[in-house]
Copies of this chain bind each other. A is one copy, B any other.
Amino acid sequence: MSARDQSVKSAVSRERPAGLPPAAAQDLADRPARPSRAGRPAKPGARSVEGRLLARLLDYLGRPPLEFILWTGERIAPPGTAIVACVRVSSRATLLGILADPQVRFADAYCEGRLEIEGDLVQLLETVYHAGRNGPPPSAMQRLVERLRRPPINTLSRSRENIHHHYDIGNEFYSLWLGETMAYTCAYYPTPTATLDEAQNAKMHHVCRKLRLRPGETVVEAGCGWGMLAMHMARHYGVKVRAFNISREQVAYARERAAREGLSSQVEYVQDDYRNISGHYDAFMSVGMLEHVGVDNYPELGQVIARSIGSNGRGLIHSIGRNRPALLQPWIEKRIFPGAYPPSLAEMMRIFEPYDFSVLDVENLRLHYAQTLRHWLELFETASSRVREMFDEKFVRMWRMYLAGSIAGFTTGALQLFQVVFAPRDNNDVPMTREHLYTR
């Protein structure tokens, strides 16, 4: 895997907002431009203003073991640490941008080629995540700024735009690195050596078993991606599925594939918002949609589920989550997933509490998501020249950064993956134990 030569700052956890205090960054930006010292090595021990501010930023980030090499040749690294990777910054303007807003501008600079990295990207991002936990607590100003950034509010039309932004950039692109199943969610590795396709199939069986799907039952799926889970449920569990998705391209793909596989009579794909789900079903399934819903809409999602499954159904929600409430890393939210927000478990309860659902089972699969992403990144790098042809170099770097940053998020516990099984309070037709999930 050639996941080297890449960037670092997408890993800065939103839990400790990064960036110099605005006054300091402004102070630097206001200085008169100095003559470039490019090519002239800095005197040992002497530091430029930029170097001093950068060192301050590194202190603030908990001193991750990174060395920065400026356009002047000046080298800045936290003292006394074994360096994991080097970051080459190409210009003063680039550095100023990073100092002012490291969480967005660092990754942007990498994508635009104004910054290069020498070292293993994932390992580098992991050390930044770890270091971030040792930094000083955020200042009052940073906490205020953090508070002013609100979680996204996803109306019907906003949701359509957000989903279009990410999922409608071409089915061919996704088919290059998602594997046979086109499942764009955390897989389940029953053994550490399972392949991506094996693990995606195992995940689909795992969630179906958790819902104990039985032949002849009906399932509504909220957010069905390219439709493979719906087909899997129909094929292996004999259920009828109505699957909702607002991504035009995904629904077109799903319908075509279901027709080709002779499953059109059992699976119906509806290009519509989960809020417009109607009808009554035995089970509710949602894998990888909740991240796009937004906490404000959780009670409405609960209402949709309650009216869909009545008092005897059951449901499963699979979602990226957090140990505690935190906004999405700003670069990811801005460039990759507008409107996305992975909830804490307590926040997820806002779906269930108003409708008296009983949570039956929660499984945290974060290390499975790290492994899934490793497989995706490997396939992505293999296909990177094709991706470059389809889009451009900036796009390749952007997706590399996003996939590598996500691996680091899951391996360091900044991100979680929760599978939550629930049922209406009155439903006693639930399995006594979970042993049935593990008998083959």
Contacts and interface: CB of A to CB of B under 8 A. Distances in A.
Given A323-B353, A353-B346, A367 B430 contact: yes
Contacts of A362: 359, 361-362
Contact of A434 (B358, B366, B430, B438): B438
11 contacts: A192-B432, A323-B357, A324-B349, A324-B353, A325-B353, A345-B359, A346-B346, A346-B349, A361-B364, A412-B426, A433-B438
Contact of A190 (B344, B357, B359, B435): B435
Contacts of A427: 413
A411 interface: yes
A428 interface: yes
A294 to B, nearest CB: 18
Specify which of A189, A192, A353 lies most central, judged by the most chain B CB atoms within 10 Å of its CB: A353
Contact of A428 (B353, B361, B411, B433): B411
A352 interface: yes
A360 interface: yes
Nearest to A435: B438
A368 interface: yes
Contacts of A30: none
Given A323-B358, A358-B364, A362-B362, 20 more contacts: A133-B426, A190-B433, A323-B352, A323-B425, A324-B354, A325-B353, A344-B353, A345-B345, A346-B346, A346-B349, A346-B350, A356-B413, A358-B366, A359-B364, A361-B364, A367-B428, A367-B430, A412-B425, A434-B437, A438-B438
Given A190-B435, A367-B428, A435-B190, A349 B344 contact: yes
A154 interface: no
A397 interface: no
Contacts of A412: 425-426
A411 B430 CA distance: 12
A432 B344 contact: no
A130 interface: yes
A363 interface: yes
A215 to B, nearest CB: 24
Interface string A14-51: 00000000000000000000000000000000000000
A416 interface: yes
Contacts of A433: 188-190, 438
A317 B189 CA distance: 27
Given A344-B349, A362-B362, A189 B434 contact: no
A438 B433 CA distance: 10
B324 A356 contact: yes
A432 B368 contact: yes
| The 5 residue pairs across chains A and B that have the minimum distance between CB atoms | A413-B425, A362-B362, A346-B349, A324-B353, A346-B346
Contacts of A188: 433
Given A413-B425, A426-B130, A428-B411, A434 B363 contact: yes
A349 B359 CA distance: 14
Interface string A102-113: 000000000000
Nearest to A367: B432
Contacts of A413: 356, 358, 425-428
A324 B346 CA distance: 11
A259 to B, nearest CB: 35
A416 B423 CA distance: 12
Contacts of A432: 189, 192, 367-368
A360 B346 CA distance: 14
A277 to B, nearest CB: 22
Interface in A334-381: 344-346, 349-350, 352-354, 356-364, 366-368
A332 to B, nearest CB: 19
A130 B425 CA distance: 10
Interface in A381-440: 411-414, 416, 418, 425-428, 430, 432-435, 437-439
A357 B350 CA distance: 20
Contacts of A346: 345-346, 349-350, 353
A312 to B, nearest CB: 12
